[in-house]
Homo-oligomer: A and B are copies of this chain.
Amino acid sequence: MSSSLDHFADRLAAAVRAKKTPLCVGLDPRWDQLPAQIRKRHGGDTLPSIARAYEEFCARVLDVVASQVAVVKPQSAFFEACGPRGMTALTRSLERARRVGLLSILDAKRNDIASTGAAYADAALAGVTWDGRTHPVWDADALTINPYLGRDAVEPFIDAARRSGRGIFVLVRTSNPGARQFQDLDCAGKPLYVHVAQAVGAWAGENQGKSGFGLVGAVIGATYPAELASLRQMLPNVFFLIPGYGEQGGGAKDVAGGFRADGLGAVVNSSRGIIFSFEPDDANWEAAVATAASKARADLALAAPGLA
């Protein structure tokens, strides 16, 4: 059993190997798609009631998928949209993920400079320290980061991750259609996202675990399979977080290029395709979630046969 102070990439690699799947389940709760039974129980006329519904829904999803996957990715935006009580729901969902043996990647795409970046990093990962006491806040295993501000704004996140056995995933190539507008600009002979990718490769190389992977990973969309495969070659030490699989259009063959021969090197996120794989009035919705996760596992086994 790995301790939470072991290197993040080692914990992630071990967990993926143990569960034999790169599947990551995205927790993106949306009020109008929740099971009707949960909506009824909590109402929905106030932000706190919606937050409580999200908390119950995520807890039940976590219990269903705990045996099937290694890692989950809560999307901060949907919890933030419920106000302070939403952040309580997020904290409790992150706690429950840990309790049921899952790693968590908090998808919040944060970044800022100097002590402000450090405040985000400590909140998400290491815990904040005042008067000599450290208080955990969100307490996720990893956090997504935006690179636009440059290295000195990524450094506080690397530092917090290093101190606490956590990790970060830096946006390199996002999954949206408009990603090309800036990320593909030809900058001194190569696209911007390749410059960012090379920086991520260097940061990962400076912070490697025994697995050979660094605690700095990269976000690379399944919707750009050619870029994904070429980045896999360029960044042997970088773990990828691949969004855009499933509902956003990416399939197993699109993500296949993201893995090493041994099946390690990437986790592939699916949100709606798993957690909303039922009609709201389906009383058996948890069985539908379990089935959707199994199907995604089977599909991804074609992309990462090395894990079998």
Contact = CB atoms under 8 A, between A and B. Distances in A.
A308 interface: no
B75 A83 contact: no
B188 A185 contact: yes
Contacts of A91: 83-84
A81 B171 contact: no
B148 A183 contact: yes
B175 A137 contact: no
Contacts of A113: 174-176
A122 B50 CA distance: 15
Contacts of A78: 116, 119
B195 A123 contact: no
A168 interface: no
A148 to B, nearest CB: 5
A13 to B, nearest CB: 27
A116 B75 contact: yes
Contact of A123 (B80, B109, B153, B187): B80
Nearest to A89: B84
B137 A47 contact: yes
Nearest to A189: B186
A101 interface: no
A243 to B, nearest CB: 9
A108 to B, nearest CB: 9
Contact of A122 (B81, B151, B152, B153): B81
Interface in A170-210: 171, 174-183, 185-188, 192, 195-196, 199
A75 B113 CA distance: 12
A74 B179 CA distance: 29
A148 B151 contact: no
Contacts of A85: 84
A255 to B, nearest CB: 18
A196 B117 CA distance: 22
A216 to B, nearest CB: 15
Contacts of A28: 116
B119 A80 contact: yes
A133 interface: yes
Contacts of A77: 110, 112, 116-117, 119-120, 123
A119 B81 contact: yes
Given A81-B122, A84-B88, A148-B174, 19 more contacts: A31-B130, A47-B128, A77-B119, A77-B120, A78-B119, A81-B128, A81-B137, A82-B128, A84-B84, A84-B87, A87-B87, A111-B146, A113-B176, A147-B148, A148-B171, A148-B182, A150-B182, A182-B195, A187-B187
